[in-house]
Chains A and B, each alone.
Chain A
Amino acid sequence: MSIDLSQFHQIFFEESFEGLDVMESQLLDLQPQEVDAESVNTIFRAAHSIKGGAGTFGFMQVSEFTHVVETLLDEIRSGTRSMQRNYIDLFLQSVDCLRAMLGSLQSGSEPDGERAATLKASFEKILQQSADSDSQVTEEKPTVADEGCSNGWRITFRPAEDILQTGNEPFRMFRELQELVGADNLTVIPLTDNLPEFTSLHPENCYLSWVLEVRSDVNRDDIAAVFEWVADDCDIDYQPLSVAAAPDIPTADTAVTEMAESAVSTDSTEPVSAVIPDKVSEALSASAAQQAKPAARTAGKSNEPSSIRVSIDKVDSLINMVGELVITQSMLGQLGQDFDMSRLARLQEGLTQLEQNTRELQESVMKIRMMPISFAFSRFPRLVRDLGGQLGKQVNLVMLGENTELDKTVMEKIGDPLVHLVRNSLDHGLETTEQRLAAGKPGEGTITLNAYHQGGNIVIEVKDDGAGLNEERILNKARQKGLVPETQELSSEEIHQLIFLPGFSTADVVSDISGRGVGMDVVRRNIAELNGSIEVKSKRGKGSTFIIRLPLTLAILDGQLVKVKDETYIFPLVSIVESIQLQKRSLNHVTGSQYVMKLRDEYIPIVRLDELFNLRASDDEFENPMLVVVEGDNEKVGIVVDDLLGQQQVVIKSLEQNYKRVTGISGATILGDGTVALIIDVSDVGKNLDKSAKGQSRSDQAA
């Protein structure tokens, strides 16, 4: 029976990416002069798991590349070699390389072998340097490894107590070792000293240890490779056979004696050596099936685009809620069987309970999608380290509120805008060390990432203690580009908003990092797509703070229901600036069919939803129209509707997935009475305005 390993690819990729994150984070914390052994072990284990997994799934490029990384790590953790700054840089480059390779494999394309080969050569060069220095030592005093190679090895293998529960079967390792060295060259001696009384035995624990004698000139590394999966958890000692007669290591003979004495009756003089069977395929296939079961349970469907790890508490909470729901449903069902008006109060009570259960269930399900923002923040220590080095700036990154949770989808989409902001803070916000010192500031700049919940939203702040926005320069640039009339004076806040306009950049030099002016408007647009907002607060000489506000989830929306003709539409509440009674006399005709309305000091383009969606005959006019003023893409738009209905949370259903994309509509929902209501895409509606109306609006606003 063969197992389709591709079903486990997705979970391998996810675990590998997590492993790379761990490696990266530990590497960034490493100080070459005082290396923490546990950190190196953690990095090694992560690399080791990726290598093993890649080998299992046949991703040999990844496996082979990780092997050299792991070898250098192994030398460092064993104390053979000390950590150096250039090693850390090389390891970090390896993390990037592996991430790219795995990304390519995940998307079904071929990994970049050239990049891996270059890095691999660098590792091999370092490893070779070690071999050279080792050979110099050998001239003075032969190493244990060289002595042992000619005669063989005595391996004392004391497994971790839980080794059997983790599926790491000793017999499989011994079988592999036997395949490596040949049946005649291996003696397996069991040590039973730790085997307890039967009544004290926990049968799933491993109490046995083994001494394995290898009489072959096999390399120690080749033997160690057999045990590599368990090396971290087990006590494994390698001694060359010629020097292995340490008093605490039982020899084969003593073990034989011990075991022979323990037997009540044995006339056999056969030594306790491994009986090497010729045919083990049956046992192998059975063991393979055994191994595959737990993996199959966790892997799920192979075609899942992504998965999410959920804490058991959240699942338990969900199960509790479902239990409550079932009880309420049962109660209502019973009530419905013999209902009369005398039980009306009971029915109402049951319905209230049902509503509460449903709400709690919804909250519990939503919590499942919530992840700590540390997943998005985790990339920044590396980013700041690398860019800081590239720009020659000393930067201290402070991350606060890393456990603040938000929806997984929001998390995935906010990553890139955050990167833009942090890069901008580094490149433009923070001054050089010299400039800072000259300004009386500490040489090291600080970038602070902070996340917290506020009023049903998540707020993410990107703050720097740099030079702050140069308002004069921004305004001059805006005037040069004709975005602001020469005569117009703007407040500080209004000047700060200009940086979000498309193509706006005051950077003197267009660098790799930022300065092309394509950043901040994209940031704003991406955040707007998440139904969020961004603002900037800045003080010259003190620094800038970008404040992003996002909904906790994209699955549920706080909506304003409106009526247009006989249809119900929903506006995202967050987009609504105000709602007013529309005064026809305040409408001005601009061009074609486009109207604008003067609202206090500004002119706002007007959109009629009935016209946009062809809901009304030409002779059928609004009676008492309402105007909903919304803001999308930093533009205000007035949308004419027949009536304002209530406000409620709605569950968003994708129109694209269920039907097709419709201009001006971002999704749909099903209301309490079962009717479908469309959710208005405020930005999209704004884009369909007559360009001249938008221009009129802006210039009037400026004037």
Chain B
Amino acid sequence: MTDNVIIDCGERLSIEQVEKLYASAEQALATAGDISLVAGQVQYCDSAGLQLVLALQKTLEKTGHRIYWQSVSDSVREISGYLGLTQALNLSEQD
């Protein structure tokens, strides 16, 4: 198994946090294989946050890697559902 970097999304996976999260993910992309996202504590997420994850996932896929959700909060599920991104983000795999 390749290196697996864990990124904690914190309580907000939203536009005001995406720059910070982008920097973490960019660093992780350079060093890691798969990336694990901890999103169980996310209280609020929006299109910018989920779009960032989707872009990260697409880039990872090109190198044969992927994102694993370690945990997913209700908020992430709700907003993904509204945006039709549940399947694209592999959230339907989660319990």
Contacts and interface: CB of A to CB of B under 8 A. Distances in A.
B54 interface: yes
Those 3 A-B pairs whose CB atoms lie nearest each other, nearest first: A275-B81, A188-B84, A203-B18
B37 to A, nearest CB: 14
A199 B81 contact: no
A274 to B, nearest CB: 6
Given A262-B88, A277-B81, A286-B43, 20 more contacts: A164-B47, A164-B48, A171-B46, A171-B47, A174-B82, A198-B56, A199-B59, A203-B15, A203-B18, A203-B22, A203-B52, A263-B90, A272-B84, A273-B84, A274-B81, A274-B84, A276-B81, A276-B82, A279-B74, A287-B44
B58 A282 contact: no
A195 B57 CA distance: 11
Contact of A283 (B47, B61, B78): B78
Interface string B75-95: 101111111111110101100
A109 interface: no
Nearest to B86: A275
B29 interface: yes
Interface of A: 164-165, 169-171, 174-175, 178, 187-190, 192, 195-199, 201, 203-204, 206-208, 210, 256, 259-260, 262-266, 268, 270, 272-277, 279-280, 282-283, 286-287, 290
A164 B19 CA distance: 13
Contact of A175 (B75, B82, B90): B82
Given A204-B18, A274-B81, A275-B80, A268 B93 contact: yes
A531 B2 CA distance: 82
Contacts of A268: 87, 92-93
Contact of B88 (A170, A190, A207): A190
A203 B93 CA distance: 25
A277 B77 contact: yes
Contacts of A208: 47, 51, 54, 83
Contacts of A259: 87-88
15 contacts: A171-B82, A190-B84, A204-B48, A208-B83, A262-B88, A264-B61, A266-B92, A272-B84, A274-B82, A274-B84, A275-B81, A279-B78, A280-B78, A287-B46, A290-B16
B47 A198 contact: no
B53 to A, nearest CB: 10
A175 B43 CA distance: 18
Nearest to A289: B44
A168 to B, nearest CB: 10
B46 to A, nearest CB: 6
Given A189-B84, A264-B61, A283 B51 contact: no
B39 interface: no
B93 A198 contact: no
A259 B54 CA distance: 11
B81 A170 contact: no
Contacts of A178: 82
A416 B39 CA distance: 62
Contacts of B93: 265-266, 268
Contacts of B80: 275
Interface in B52-72: 52, 54-56, 58-59, 61, 66
User: Most A CB atoms within 10 A — which of B22, B81, B84, B86?
Assistant: B84
B33 to A, nearest CB: 12
A208 B84 CA distance: 11
A644 to B, nearest CB: 64
B81 A192 contact: no
Nearest to A202: B22
A195 B84 contact: no
Given A198-B29, A201-B22, A259-B88, A206 B47 contact: yes
A276 B80 CA distance: 10
Nearest to A172: B82
Given A203-B48, A277-B77, A188 B90 contact: no
